[in-house]
Amino acid sequence: MSEIDLPKSCGVGFKEWSGVCNALAAGAQTVILRKGGIAEGPGGFTPEHPFFWLYPTHLHEAQQGLRTGDERPAPGGDPGEVAIRALAAVDSVRRIDREDDLDALEEFHVWTSETVHKRFQYRNPGLWALVVRVWARERPTSLIATPEQLGCKTWVELIPPLPTAGLAPVLDDEAWERRREALRAVLG
């Protein structure tokens, strides 16, 4: 089994659609497919952090973008408030350069096929696949989004860093190893 020592705290947030964050926190998704954000420059997305909090956003979240029906924000609440409840650890990173390889990943994520293929084709064909193990807590930590966290960017700084105490893996060791091996078979 893979043993991961979580840091005592983490000050990095990874912005992703709220429905995807929910799927990751529920163990229904174990891969993140990413193109990159506008603010990341000409080099595009770089998987530069081994641990990060899932920072749910509704920016660019399309009504038909997910297969779960979990695309829209829950009614009420402060739109500037962000609920952080799950931490991801990057297990491996692969570049997907063949569009034909995307359909084999469907069981590992909740995006629609249309969304994944559009992401693949946007600008330069290709996507990054991050295989992640996720830990979550029952009650989220609520943050107020800062001006620096707004906009189309992937990585955001969380000040102060959030403690990881009280997190539990969303998939037990046996379930995680099965998913991880299945993903390795697909990604090579």
pLDDT in tens, the chain (188 residues): 446 789 999 999 999 989 999 999 999 999 999 885 544 555 556 677 899 999 998 765 555 588 876 544 444 455 689 999 999 999 998 889 999 999 999 999 999 999 999 999 988 899 989 999 999 999 999 999 998 888 878 889 999 999 999 999 999 999 999 999 999 999 98
Domain count, the chain: 1
The alpha carbons of the chain give a radius of gyration, in whole angstroms, of 16
- The amino acid occupying position 106 is E
* Assigned domain for 4 exists: no
Judged by DSSP in three states, 156 sits in strand
Q: Which residue range is the domain that position 42 belongs to? A: 9-187
30 found inside a domain: yes
